[in-house]
Amino acid sequence: MPSHHLITGGQRSGKSRHAERLGLRWLAQSDAHSVTVLATAVASDEEMRERIARHRADRPDGFETVEAPVHLGAALRAASAPGRLLIVDCLTLWLVNALMPMHVQEHASSPVSAAAVRAVWSDLRMDFLSALDEELASPVLLVSNEIGCGVIPMGAEVRQFVDELGRLNQDVAQCCAQLTLMVAGQPFTKAVEKWA
């Protein structure tokens, strides 16, 4: 079974760049290798559109991009293939997409409740973790922010988001063989210690 690798760190710490460097190493190993980026960002405003465009422009030649803003488990299964490395960039934005009821609201006839959003997130999360735990043909590099190192944030919604991302990162790490913490563009990598 291919091994997965979680790359985490603060904003602008070099997470995506490190994943891309690992992708280039993958491509250099064999002409039969390919890299697919599962991009989770949604262009919700002009600044985000510019950020997405910058990420796309900075990606190395030969990297295919698949938009996967919500149904990440299904996207992993669909993109997985022998010789293909998958890069999920990033879990933080995926969580934002899942917890923001815009995609749910589009198909609802009345406002969506917080309980409905939590139920949708629970289903998306379980499907994604199941996909990672399956015998995918592809190794997966997963990029996520580490936002729980600062002071406890003000506001219940922000604290809940920080807690949920922390839980997600812990669960994803259990599906991985390696974990890298990025600090100032430098990777600190270790093998994942599995829970009993």
The secondary structure of 124-161, three-state, reads HHHHHHHHHHCCCCCCEEEEEECCCCCCCCCCHHHHHH
**Residue 102: CB partners within 8 Å, gap ≥ 6?**
none
Per-residue pLDDT of the chain (196 residues; tens, 9 = 90+): 469 999 999 999 999 999 999 999 999 999 999 999 999 998 888 998 998 898 888 888 899 999 999 999 999 999 999 999 999 999 999 999 998 765 555 555 566 677 888 888 999 999 999 999 988 999 999 999 999 887 777 888 888 889 999 999 999 999 999 999 999 999 999 999 888 6
Backbone angles phi, psi at 5, to 5 degrees: -145, 120
DSSP for 26-78, written as a single string: HHHH-TT-EEEEEE-----SHHHHHHHHHHHHHSPTTEEEEE-SS-HHHHHHH
Tokens of 7: 């790359």
Q: Which residues are catalytic?
A: 55
**pTM for the structure as a whole:** 0.90
Backbone angles phi, psi at 128, to 5 degrees: -65, -50
The fold of the 5-156+181-191 domain, in CATH, is: Rossmann fold (3.40.50)
Q: How far apart are CA 18 and CA 180, in angstroms?
A: 9
